[in-house]
Structure 1
Amino acid sequence: MRSQVSANIVASSAAIVVAVVLLLPQAEAARAFFVFGDSLVDNGNNNYLLTTARADSPPYGIDYPTHRPTGRFSNGYNIPDLISQALGAESTLPYLSPELNGEKLLVGANFASAGIGILNDTGIQFANIIRIAQQLELFARYQQRLGALIGADQAEQRVNQALVLITLGGNDYVNNYFLTPLSARRLQYNIQDYSVFLISEYRKILLRLYELGARRVLVTGTGPIGCVPGELATRSRNGECAEEPQQAAATFNPLLIQMIQGLNQDLGSNVFVAVNAMQMQNDFITNPRAFGFVTSKVACCGQGAFNGVGLCTAASNLCPDRNVYAFWDPFHPSERANKIIVQTILTGSDKYMTPMNLSTIMALDSKI
């Protein structure tokens, strides 16, 4: 550049202006990203809490760039990380991270906390976790911090233009309704009525998100909870998906899509996008070899039947090649499975994404 300046100051200045103009759209393309939910999307908030629902010891994180546990319930990247990459942004930091300051606030924040559900009584066995109402309170507090940094108007605009991901529901079945043979919720509701109740409560949560400024929200339902190694180990007959949890997921997800369609209609805009996580995972659970997996029944890390008993710890069985396992631990997909899920979120048909996929959202929003 110095030789250019000495040779031709005018030409050099013009080149610098062009370079800056070219860089600006890239900088602005990295829209803010906010994450709410449970362990499927927790980036490490629970590391800062006194709770047993945490992933802060090996072999968690074995395939993460640092090869160290980060609090993600994964061998490497989780779903929010991979969505951030698609946005051209760095991963969101946990809201409780002391590093979430200054310009890092512009990236967004991850409020998710392993163990939580739609209902406040879900995950009570994990004690100190950030329930969804608290996550939304922290989101309001985050916006005050962002406003102090860039001004209230700019902060509101950044939140309105952000992408939001919320993942809830699985724990309300696994760690509540089916937690014990005669759980309080099971005595209160059959599966159908409980699912309807969950959806009505989820709707209130989504409306609160809207009140807080969220305008593009990916909403995931439950995965095929009857087919995860943890359920196979405790409820399966001959390695087949556990009937009742699978029935619950098959009931919940269509109700969620129906609720989201109605909510968008009420709001007059496609604010909420349903992510059919059950269908996405069913594809590689029913035909793992078509996706390059050796198994979708046995977890990579665990012990007991299907490696589905207890927690993933340094003492657990550990598979040598995480890329050929659909599940990392008894309940969470492997990094490679997460990549398949996020690719489907990006480009999937209406079989998986209602009313549109993330690529369509990004294309539409780039024109605004």
Structure 2
Amino acid sequence: MVNFCCLWFTMFCFLLHYAYNAKGSPPPKVPAMFVFGDSLVDNGNNNDLNSFAKANYYPYGIDFRGPTGRFSNGETVIDLLAKLLGVPSPPPFANPATSGSRILGGVNYASAAGGILDESGQHFGDRFPLSRQVINFENSLSQLRTMMSGRDLNQYLSRSIAIMVLGSNDYINNYFLPFLYTTSYNYNASEFANLLLNHYARQLVALYSVGLRKFLLVGIGPLGCIPNQLATSKHDPGRCVDNVNQMLGFFNQGLVKLVDYMNNGTHPGSIFVYGNVYGAIGDILNNPSKYGMSNSHTSI
């Protein structure tokens, strides 16, 4: 997990540098970071939900300050990015203490087992899918309106960053579970990716419409290489499940096109950046020695 986080961190540093310095100007101060996603970036929103998808117990957090709800031994990539941007690590929306001045540096709405589709991950119990995360953001926005003028709020939102890490659960906790969900019967891989991207685009437009302007959209990593798929699929030892990874190409390639579309002038003042986590993790798998590992497959 640490190697993945560091790689994401390095990748996002580059992306931010590119986005803000395209005209050679120094990077402006970022007032806040708003996080939407799943267990990769959840920092405690599921703790008090009626859900099996929780990480508020050991060994989670053994290299941090104990279990907090982060699905990691230590800091997540969001914690690292917050340090880079000079803002507090965004607190979880579901924590009752996340209100008032605590939300000025941003809020984390991510929820383990949550997906782009409302039904993804429902067999785990309660969770916040993307549509609900957007509603939760709008609730935070109502609080922010009481703390600053309309002009200041517009400037604040336009300079803030929204990080979106979604899609994995729509596959591993929906499409790849035909005994629980019908999506794989109703859609081929290309059609399912388009379904996800259409839902995703509507929520992006909703976030843009209320004032957010800077977005990092992180693609899906090679799920065919995770233990979940290695344990349930027939594959050659030491190899990832190729057909699973090939399916993800439809989503990731479509997400690149969605980023291009959102940047083509139809959404003035905005910056949308694609995070190629598939390529980043693929580099770990193909060149483990670069990241201090001798065998990447036993380290994931």
Quick one: distance in 2 between partners of 1:142 and 1:185?
33
Tell me which residue corresponds to 1:60.
Answer: 60
Which residue pairs with 2:243 in the alignment? 244
Post-superposition shift, 1:152?
Answer: 3.8
Shift of 1:191: 0.9
- SS of the aligned residue for 1:160 comes to helix
Offset of residue 149 of structure 1: 2.5
Give the match's secondary structure for 1:48. coil
**SS of equivalent to 2:220:** coil
Measured after TM superposition, the shift of residue 251 of structure 1 is 2.1
CA contact (8 A) 2:59 2:73 kept: yes
The structural deviation recorded for 1:150 is 3.0
Q: Which residue of 2 aligns with 1:291?
A: 291
Q: Distance in 2 between matches of 1:244 and 1:149?
A: 50
Offset of residue 234 of structure 1: 1.8
Distance 1:156 1:125 in 2: 39
Query: How many Å apart are 1:284 and its aligned residue?
Result: 0.2
What does residue 94 of structure 2 align with?
A: 96
Please, which runs of 5 or more residues in structure 1 have no aligned partner?
1-27, 299-324, 328-368
Q: Which residue of 2 aligns with 1:272?
A: 272
Decide whether the 8 Å contact of 1:176 with 1:183 is kept in 2: yes
Q: Are residues 269 and 151 of structure 1, via their aligned partners in 2, closer, same or farther at CA, if it must alter by over 3 Å?
A: closer
Distance in 1, Cα, partners of 2:46 & 2:181: 26
Residue 123 of structure 1: how far off its partner (Å):
0.9
Q: RCO greater where, 1 or 2, for CA within 8 Å and sep 6 or more?
A: 2
Match of 2:222 among 213, 221, 224: 224
Query: Cα distance, 1:268 vs. partner?
Result: 4.4
Alpha-carbon offset, residue 148 of structure 1: 1.5
2:190 aligns to what?
192
Structure 1 position 276, deviation (Å): 1.0
1:171 to 144, 169, 172: 169
User: What TM-score do the two structures reach when normalised by structure 1?
Assistant: 0.70
**What is residue 135 of structure 2 aligned with on the other side?**
137
Instruction: Give the distance between the partners of 2:179 and 2:44, measured in 1 at CA.
Output: 31
Cα displacement (A) at 1:82 = 1.1
8 Å CA contact 1:33–1:164 kept in 2: the answer is yes
Which of 116, 140, 163 is 1:118 aligned to?
116
Q: Which residue of 1 aligns with 2:81?
A: 83
Distance of 2:176 and 2:67 partners within structure 1: 29
Q: What CA distance in whole angstroms lies between the structure 1 residues aligned with 2:179 and 2:201?
A: 28
Q: Distance in 1 between matches of 2:245 and 2:167?
A: 13
Is the Cα contact below 8 Å between 2:230 and 2:240 reproduced in 1? yes
CA RMSD in angstroms, aligned pairs only: 1.7
For 1:284 and 1:43, the matched residues in 2 are separated by: 25
SS at match of 1:34: strand
1:285 aligned counterpart, secondary structure: helix
For residues 277 and 236 of structure 1, the distance between their equivalents in structure 2, rounded to whole angstroms, comes to: 25
In the alignment, the residues of structure 1 paired with residue 288 and residue 60 of structure 2 have an alpha-carbon distance, to the nearest angstrom, of: 23
Task: Tell me how far apart the structure 2 counterparts of residues 109 and 51 of structure 1 sit (CA, whole Å).
Answer: 21
Q: Map 1:1-368 to 2 at 5 A.
A: 29-64=29-64, 66=65, 68-180=66-178, 183-237=181-235, 238-265=237-264, 266-298=266-298, 325=299, 327=300
Deviations 1:136-174 (A, max 9, x none): 111111011122223443233212210110111111111
Q: Is the 8 A contact 1:147 1:153 kept in 2?
A: no
Q: In the aligned structure 1, how far is the partner of 2:53 from the partner of 2:160?
A: 28
Count of aligned residue pairs for this structure pair: 271
Q: Unaligned stretches of 5+ in structure 2? A: 1-27
- SS of the aligned residue for 1:274 comes to strand
